[in-house]
Amino acid sequence: MQPFTTLEGIAAPIDEANVDTNQLCPTRFNKVPRGPKYAEILFYDQRIDTDGKRTDFLLNQSPYDQSRLIVADSNFGCGSSRETAVYALYEFGIRCVIAPSFGDIFDANCAKNGLLTVALPVATCAALRAMLHETPGMAFAVDLASQTVTDGRGGVHRFEISPIRKRCLLNGFDDISRTQEYRAAIDAFEAGHRAAHPWMFR
């Protein structure tokens, strides 16, 4: 996983609540092996029609086609567990999504792929989106170490993140390697669990 330390780039506002993972990656593209092709898959059914890229879709417009951040509304990434939704965001170039809340599974999937989710209050997210509509192409800066987002007018917004997620993102740690450090504890647990509940093991 690529480490996430700091980020500076264009932020795109997405105003609708409940953006589901089917929208981020329509189901039929789940067959696609992970790779650069996912850049085009992001929001495919809204971005692309039979005539090609729809100019009325924000992420097709310059400068938003260079976006690195998204500022969204509540429950972003709800629905299906498909990690391809994260692949699509990542390959498009998005490294950080700011929203009042996220789908739980999507949120976990982002953390495993070096994409930072930042939860800020509903009113803050609404104000940030309004700011981005007023000044298209505005850049935001994110500093994970200090847990801050700095908007294009210099406003600093501090966010919470679990210590372990922060450490993994900052270092690009591979989850499985981290878990292997607990191999002895896992083995001991499994032996006790098996002895106490033998019917659980076939």
Q: What's the min distance (Å) between Cβ of 136 and other proteins?
A: 20
Comparison of 60 and 74: residue with beta carbon closer to other proteins: 74
Given the rule CB under 8 A, which of 2-10, 71-79, 128-136, 143-151 is the region that contacts other proteins? 71-79
Q: What's the min distance (Å) between Cβ of 150 and other proteins?
A: 26
User: In terms of C-beta density within 10 A (0-12 exposed, 13-18 middle, 19 or more buried), how is residue 94 classed?
Assistant: buried
For the chain, give the longest Cα–Cα distance. 64
Question: According to the binding rule CB under 8 A, does residue 198 interact with other proteins?
Answer: yes
Q: What six digits make up the tokens of 121?
A: 């209050």
**DSSP sequence for 83-125:** THHHHHHHHHT--EEEES-B-HHHHHHHHTTT-EEEE--HHHH
In contact, 112 and 56? CB cutoff 8 Å: no
Binder to other proteins among 45, 66, 121, 171 (CB under 8 A)? Answer: 45
Question: According to the binding rule CB under 8 A, does residue 154 interact with other proteins?
Answer: no
Q: What six digits make up the tokens of 194?
A: 């098996």
Comparison of 145 and 200: residue with beta carbon closer to other proteins: 200
Binding map of other proteins across residues 25-44, x = CB under 8 A, - = no contact: -xxx-xx-xx----------
Q: Total number of residues binding other proteins (CB under 8 A)?
A: 58
Place of tokens 């890229």: 53
Question: According to the binding rule CB under 8 A, does residue 145 interact with other proteins?
Answer: no
Q: What's the min distance (Å) between Cβ of 71 and other proteins?
A: 15
Q: Using CB under 8 A, which residues numbered 86 to 125 contact other proteins?
A: 86, 101-106, 108-109, 112-113
Q: What six digits make up the tokens of 3?
A: 């480490």
Binder to other proteins among 70, 78, 138, 149 (CB under 8 A)? Answer: 78
